[in-house]
């Protein structure tokens, strides 16, 4: 069964600083990988996804993520964080054979002014 | 196009009472998910439907939880009787098929007192 770990429970960065959120997955075949963001009291919004092809994927709100098969990682990055990026971020893995979406525990991002 | 619609948004009930949640997925989406999200944690799958068929309900506590998806469109999730530990956010999501990205509703926040 697939699984996802997000090693950082809480990260604090200053506005304008760069950001990297870590995600590691376990999956026996080609994974489909996703990053979702959840603001307080809101539903989950898809930031970006990786199915195949270019291992660097661009998403909304200036986010990007890089798939590294050798490291079983799919880290999320943003070059300059805005105060509005403060939220909970979830990495998720799905499968090409119809397996369920499995979410990581999430990383809470705080942004200092 | 409307997204995934869930109702109610909030529900407060006394323990041992029944409760039901309703989900209307995005039109044309064959796959429907119900997730449970506890505070500060990632969503955990309860059940996945492919059209009308529940293809994975292994995480659904069947002694008190039940779900149905009539005609392969709307779905309801029921708890009877509710326990204090059921207090959480219940999320519904849908996707075109089981390999695609999932779109989430706003969730129903259940409080059992």
pLDDT on residue A97: 61
Contact B42 A94 (CB under 8 A): no
- How many CA atoms are closer than 13 Å to the CA of A97, on its beta-carbon side? 6
pLDDT on residue B110: 98
Contact B93 A101 (CB under 8 A): yes
Question: Burial of A53 by CB count in 10 Å (0-12 exposed, 13-18 middle, 19+ buried)?
Answer: exposed
Question: Which of the two residues, B56 and A67, has the higher pLDDT score?
Answer: A67
Q: Which of A6, A101, A108 to mutate to test the interface with B (most CBs of B within 10 A)?
A: A101
Is B99 near chain A, with CB under 8 Å? yes
3-state secondary structure of A71: helix
Q: Which residues of A touch B103 (CB under 8 A)?
A: 46
Sequence-ordered strand ranges (E) for A1-113: 3-5, 10-14, 19-21, 24-26, 31-38, 44-50, 56-58, 64-68, 73-78, 87-95, 102-103, 107-112
Q: Rounded to whole angstroms, how far apart are CA atoms B72 and B79?
A: 21
pLDDT on residue A51: 87
Q: Which of B31, B101, B107, B108 to mutate to test the interface with A (most CBs of A within 10 A)?
A: B101
Q: Which among A95, A98, A103 has the least Cβ separation from residue B43?
A: A103
**Picking from A27-36, A90-99, B14-23, which range would have the lowest pLDDT averaged per residue?**
A90-99
Q: Which residues of A touch B50 (CB under 8 A)?
A: 98
- How many CA atoms are closer than 13 Å to the CA of B88, on its beta-carbon side? 18
| Percent of chain B residues topping a pLDDT of 90 | 81
CA distances to A24, A35, A69, A99 from A66, in Å: 12, 11, 10, 22
**Average pLDDT of span A22-26:** 95
Q: Rounded to whole angstroms, how far apart are CA atoms A11 and A76?
A: 13
Contact A43 B97 (CB under 8 A): no
Tens-place pLDDT, residues B47-90 = 999 999 998 888 899 999 999 998 889 999 999 999 999 999 99
Q: Rounded to whole angstroms, how far apart are CA atoms B30 and B97?
A: 6
**Taking 80 as the threshold, does the pLDDT of residue A101 lie above it?**
no
Q: Which among A94, A103, A108 has the least Cβ separation from residue B99?
A: A94
pLDDT on residue A38: 94
Is A102 near chain B, with CB under 8 Å? yes
Q: Which residues of B touch A5 (CB under 8 A)?
A: none
Residue of B nearest to A41 (CA): B106
Q: Rounded to whole angstroms, how far apart are CA atoms B43 and A67?
A: 22
Both tokens assigned to A23: 């995600």
Contact A103 B44 (CB under 8 A): yes
């Amino acid at each position: 069964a697939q699984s996802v770990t997000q090693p950082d429970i809480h990260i604090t960065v200053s506005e304008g600083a760069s950001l990297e959120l870590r995600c590691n997955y376990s999956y026996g075949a080609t994974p489909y990988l996703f990053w979702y963001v959840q603001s307080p009291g809101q539903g989950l919004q898809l930031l970006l996804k990786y199915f195949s092809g270019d291992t660097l994927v661009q998403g909304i709100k200036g986010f990007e993520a890089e798939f590294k098969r050798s490291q079983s990682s799919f880290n999320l990055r943003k070059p300059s964080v805005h105060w509005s990026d403060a939220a909970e971020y979830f990495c998720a893995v799905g499968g090409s054979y119809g397996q369920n979406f499995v979410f990581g525990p999430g990383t809470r991002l705080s942004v200092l002014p | 196009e409307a997204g995934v619609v869930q109702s109610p948004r909030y529900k407060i009930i006394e323990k041992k009472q029944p409760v039901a949640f309703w989900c209307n997925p995005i039109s044309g989406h064959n796959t429907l998910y119900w997730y449970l999200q506890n505070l500060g944690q990632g969503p955990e799958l309860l059940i996945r439907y492919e059209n009308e068929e529940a293809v994975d309900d292994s995480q659904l506590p069947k002694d008190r939880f039940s779900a149905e998806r009539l005609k392969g469109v709307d779905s309801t999730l029921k708890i009877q009787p509710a326990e204090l530990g059921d207090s959480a956010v219940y999320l519904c999501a849908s996707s075109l098929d089981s390999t695609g990205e999932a779109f989430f509703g706003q969730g129903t926040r259940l409080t059992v007192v």
